[in-house]
């Protein structure tokens, strides 16, 4: 298998980078559009393996989250503008971690733009998370920046300790946070805090094809978080792995790509 550095280089070669009102995004391939929303670090290259696997049959779109965004609602509106700019009426949406939360916000705000959903390693934060997230936000703003970066580094090492490619992804996330700076990192938590304050207003109603991918040993998403999101999508397909942690595309790439590919084919057949 090619190294992650080689695969990332290919991702860069075959996905054109574009800018839209401060939003940097990447497109490649042709066919039905698949919008891939990264986790909290907000780096589009995190989808390298899925993007390369899909580009023979689908048009893939992913993005780097702007460091200035302070709510998932405003970021969802940016996604609608992105789809408009690319001439995409409806997209299949895949969201990992915070990207899954963003996918739900997009579905709540613009349900007609979503053709199908894949949620992985994600759930919904709610009122019970407000105090915790507010505390993290305050800590980021009050702690010396080098200490904050080191704390993020240690947390990610723990999440990716069993991955041979963990060092590469750690460097990618650290670079993203250094570019964003303290305020950009604070804004990423402000988005989650705003979600926690408002997610109890979300209503079920979107009935398109939906797939949940999760692992029992995910250290970041609790059963309560998962249930809050599942409740909005009764009848969704669920594949629960006994292991794999938070980042299934990293720890179980073959399983992840197979499940997403099969889901997309079912969604196209159903449509």
CA atoms of 234 and 50, how far apart (whole Å) = 26
Question: How many domains are contained in the chain?
Answer: 1
CA atoms of 52 and 202, how far apart (whole Å) = 34
**What does the pLDDT read at residue 158?**
79
Would 145 be classed as within a structural domain? no
How far is residue 137 from each of residues 40, 161, 190, 219, measured CA to CA in Å?
14, 25, 7, 20
Would 259 be classed as within a structural domain? yes
Residue 246 CA, chain-centre distance (Å), reads 12
CATH number of the domain to which 231 belongs: 3.40.50.1820
What are 268's two structure tokens?
Answer: 């196209």
**What does the pLDDT read at residue 271?**
67
Tell me the pairing of strands 210-215 and 114-120.
parallel
Would 33 be classed as within a structural domain? yes
**What does the pLDDT read at residue 234?**
94
Would 107 be classed as within a structural domain? yes
Place of tokens 């997209």: 91
Spell out the per-residue pLDDT of the chain, length 271, in tens: 799 999 999 999 999 999 998 899 999 999 999 999 999 889 999 999 999 999 999 999 999 999 999 999 999 999 999 999 999 999 999 999 999 999 999 999 999 999 999 999 999 999 999 999 999 999 999 999 999 989 888 888 877 777 788 889 888 988 998 899 999 999 999 999 999 999 999 999 899 999 999 999 999 999 999 999 999 999 999 999 999 999 999 999 999 999 999 999 999 988 6
**What does the pLDDT read at residue 21?**
87
DSSP notation for 94-115: EEETHHHHHHHHHHHH-GGGEE
Element holding 268 (H helix, E strand): helix 253-270
Question: Is-above-0.75 flag for pTM?
Answer: yes
Find, among 147, 141, 262, 137, the residue nearest to 190 by Cα. Answer: 137
Would 195 be classed as within a structural domain? no
Would 14 be classed as within a structural domain? yes
Question: Domain containing 66: what range?
Answer: 4-126+201-270
**What does the pLDDT read at residue 130?**
97
Would 156 be classed as within a structural domain? no
CA atoms of 174 and 169, how far apart (whole Å) = 8
Would 208 be classed as within a structural domain? yes
Residue 126 main-chain phi, psi, to 5 deg: -140, -170
């Amino acid at each position: 298998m090619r190294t992650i550095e080689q695969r990332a280089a290919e991702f860069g070669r075959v996905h054109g980078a574009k800018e839209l009102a401060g939003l940097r995004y990447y497109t490649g391939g042709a066919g039905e559009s698949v919008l891939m929303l990264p986790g909290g670090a907000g780096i589009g290259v995190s989808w390298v393996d899925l993007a390369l696997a899909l580009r023979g049959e689908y048009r893939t779109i992913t993005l780097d989250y702007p460091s200035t965004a302070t709510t998932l609602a405003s970021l969802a509106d940016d996604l609608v503008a992105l789809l408009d700019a690319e001439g995409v009426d409806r997209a299949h949406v895949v969201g990992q971690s915070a990207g899954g939360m963003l996918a739900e916000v997009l579905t709540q705000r613009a349900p007609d733009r979503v053709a199908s959903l894949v949620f992985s390693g994600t759930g919904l934060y709610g009122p019970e998370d407000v105090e915790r997230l507010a505390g993290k936000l305050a800590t980021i703003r009050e702690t010396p920046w080098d200490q904050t970066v080191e704390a993020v580094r240690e947390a990610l090492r723990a999440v990716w300790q069993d991955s041979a490619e963990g060092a590469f992804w750690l460097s990618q996330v650290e670079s993203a946070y250094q570019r964003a700076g303290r305020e950009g990192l604070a804004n990423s938590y402000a988005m989650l805090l705003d979600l926690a304050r408002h997610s109890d207003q979300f209503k079920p109603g979107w009935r398109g094809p939906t797939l949940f991918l999760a692992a029992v040993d995910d250290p970041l998403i609790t059963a309560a978080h998962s249930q809050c999101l599942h409740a909005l999508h009764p009848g969704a397909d669920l594949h629960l792995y006994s292991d794999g942690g938070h980042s299934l595309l990293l720890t179980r790439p073959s399983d992840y790509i197979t499940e997403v590919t099969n889901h997309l084919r079912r969604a196209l057949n159903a449509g």
